[in-house]
Amino acid sequence: PRAAGGLGATTIEVADATTLLITPERRVGAIAALLAEFPLVIARHTTNGNHFTGPWRVVELRRGDQLRLEANPFYRDRRARPPVTIRRVTDPNALAIGLEAGVFDLAFGLAAETLPRLRGRGIGIASTPVAYQYMLMLNQRHPALRDARVRQALSLAIDRRQLVRLLGGGRPATGLFPDFMPWALEAGLPHDPARAAALLDEAGWPLRDGVRRRGDQVLALTLTIYPQRPDFAVLAPLVRAQWESLGIRIRTEAVEAITPALQQGRFEAAFWTNHTAPGGDPAFALEQYFRGDGPLNWSAARDPVLDDMLDGLRVAVAGQRHDLARLSALRLNDTLPAIPLLTPQWHVGVSARLAGYRPYPSDYYILHADMGAP
């Protein structure tokens, strides 16, 4: 579905040993960037049956637990490499404890509150700003969330600078895209609780006895987090408090896997993070998550104005793409199918064996080809 969201139904023909002819069903303004995105992987089929060319190959997979790797003898650089075990650890405290105990050589996704303790014990911490955005997906199947004034009030209630301080790093979001991208918005999203309260009044949710009500109905929302992003467990109490200060009744839930909940619409306001331009072009997140018929339109948003903008983005080239991406991001800041929160900083703990490890600004290339190699 993700690949289809960019290219649509596509014909790919082999012209010669080094040329592919690609015919997408619609015009694509930035084909090179689209082909660089992660859903579009071309397997290398060889006569001996070996596929792909990575430095390790899988020895064992225990679903939901661990993946064991060994050096791939067919890799072009055949240096000796140690075996690798990748463990799935959903508890950030267990991740830090395993690092302290010497069980892990590398721990990706450390919670910010564990860093002072780990540094105090001499454990190396590599931190990096990332191209992801933290956001809150709002499910417009929820009757109250269909009203843009309610969504705007939720955004205005959030103090993004306070969120950044709580995590000890990152930048307040200005919109869908991190502020260092060339098509990002410059002005920050406002924090205005008084305006938020007025919008809820306008939307028919007056404050009575400290609670927003419409007749006998209470304005209530469930805030969803998941363990794979420990930062969200830190942010959720603050977001909850800021929404509750408006008189909204909030319940917090933790789900083991967020993607099925989003796909099935089993959420109301869910924390989410996404690399909004993984191929270096702004169209990815706009097309996938926010076009009315997009494959990952979990918020169930339908905005013909935005769809028209994205139609233009499909055929725009060069600088035109940046301008249209900014206009699209401005539109999203008005309609808010998702509330941008912040651009985070992520933290990786490493043992002495991996001193000098430098993380990429994403979660794609955690295991490097030169790790452990002589």
Domains of the chain with CATH codes:
132-343 (3.10.105.10)
pLDDT computed for residue 84 by the predictor: 95
How would you label 28-56 residue by residue, b for 16+ Cβ within 10 Å and e otherwise? bbbeebbbebeeeeeeeeeeeeeeeeebb
Burial of 179 by CB count in 10 Å (0-12 exposed, 13-18 middle, 19+ buried)?
middle
**47-84 pLDDT, tens digit each:** 776 666 688 999 999 998 999 999 988 888 878 889 99
Q: Look up the pTM and report it.
A: 0.85
CA 125/CA 354 separation, integer angstroms = 11
One-letter identity of residue 97:
I
**More confident of the two residues 358 and 374:** 358
Q: What are the two backbone dihedrals, phi and then psi, of residue 143, each rounded to the nearest 5 degrees?
A: -55, -45
| Lowest-confidence region among 79-83, 140-144, 219-223 | 79-83
Across the chain, mean pLDDT equals 91
pLDDT computed for residue 69 by the predictor: 95
Helix 318-335 and helix 148-156, axial crossing angle in degrees, nearest 10: 90
| Lowest-confidence region among 114-123, 154-163, 222-231, 363-372 | 363-372
**12-32 pLDDT, tens digit each:** 889 998 898 888 877 777 777
What distances in angstroms separate CA 141 from CA 56, 163, 267, one per listed residue? 44, 27, 9
Pairing between β-strand 338-343 and β-strand 132-138 as defined by DSSP bridges: antiparallel
The pLDDT of residue 2 is above 70: no
